[in-house]
Amino acid sequence: MFKYSYDALVYASEPIETSIRRVARFGYDAIELVGEPAHHDVAEVRRLCDAEGIAVSSICSIFVGAERDLVALDPEMRRKGIDYAKSVVDFAAEVGAPTINLAPSPVGKLAPAGSRQQEWDLALESLAEIADYGAKAGIRTCLEPWNRYETYFLNRLDQALGLAAAVGHDNLGVMGDSFHMNIEDIDVAGNYRLAADRLFHVHFADSQRAAPGRGHIDFAPLVQALIEIDYQGYIAFELLPAAADPFATLRSGGGEEFLDAYTELAIKTIKAVEAEVRT
């Protein structure tokens, strides 16, 4: 059976101990932590995970704002983005997570500042440095494509594969999020097969980013593709309310279903699909 994780990003600003205990209570193998190293007590995270019998699957980097942009034309801004990614690598190594996720350009940046070739070359340079740094720590980096309403730079899994191949580091791969792929990729399952051993991580969410089973995505072909490529990573759930600012919704007490109800529904739904497909 696959290994399952839940992204703590979904829980907004609640105490991490609450999130870890909830994930463990509903039978998850691991938790995905938010990539803000300064907000975490590493020793406490490790103690809580050990006590609850779960691992840290991955770190979800938060690429928001001009200071977290790996293709910024300003070298100083680009350096801040690279240094941030390196801090996430350090954080992953400290909490025992094998993988970090990142996007080369921040969410909300919807148009290039330079030519496509110029930004592509800057991405190659930045990602090579981050991958080199990660290799020394034994951490894999995966590129996450986001849909066109969040970024212009990487929107499809095949684009991310092309960028990873151009960088040419074994510890640099891709991740596929079913929510974004449902918008951008013509064949989600086919692109999982295309990625094969470069697919380091997977996010599942339904068509409107709710828990699987609450939208219109048929997850059986996706699970089948992961089985066929002998996927060894985690399936992590990254769910968010259908709002222009989902985090404001969560912080204000809305989206209560994204806590216990969706944490339980997500793993139950996909484990049932997995069991049926494997049978």
Give tens-digit pLDDT for 71-103. 999 999 999 999 999 999 999 999 999 999 999
Residue 27 has pLDDT above 90, yes or no: yes
- Residue 254 confidence (pLDDT): 87
- Residue 248 confidence (pLDDT): 87
Q: Place 247 in a pLDDT band, splitting at 50, 70 and 90.
A: confident
Q: Place 253 in a pLDDT band, splitting at 50, 70 and 90.
A: confident
Residue 136 has pLDDT above 90, yes or no: yes
Give tens-digit pLDDT for 192-214. 999 999 999 999 999 999 999 99
Q: What is the mean pLDDT of the chain?
A: 97
- Residue 9 confidence (pLDDT): 96
For the entire predicted model, the pTM comes to 0.96
Name the CA dihedral angle for 4, 199, 177, 12, rounded to a multiple of 10 degrees: 50
Give tens-digit pLDDT for 37-81. 999 999 999 999 999 999 999 999 999 999 999 999 999 999 999
Report the C-alpha gap between 225 and 4 in whole angstroms: 17
In the structure encoding, which two tokens stand for residue 273, read together?
Answer: 């699909």
Mean pLDDT confidence for 144-157: 97
- The three-point CA angle 132-35-114 to 5° equals 65
Report the C-alpha gap between 103 and 64 in whole angstroms: 10
Q: Place 5 in a pLDDT band, splitting at 50, 70 and 90.
A: very high
Of the candidates 24, 3, 10, the residue with the CA atom closest to the CA atom of residue 209: 10
The CA-atom distances, in angstroms, between 58 and each of 89, 109, 111, 248 are: 10, 24, 29, 24
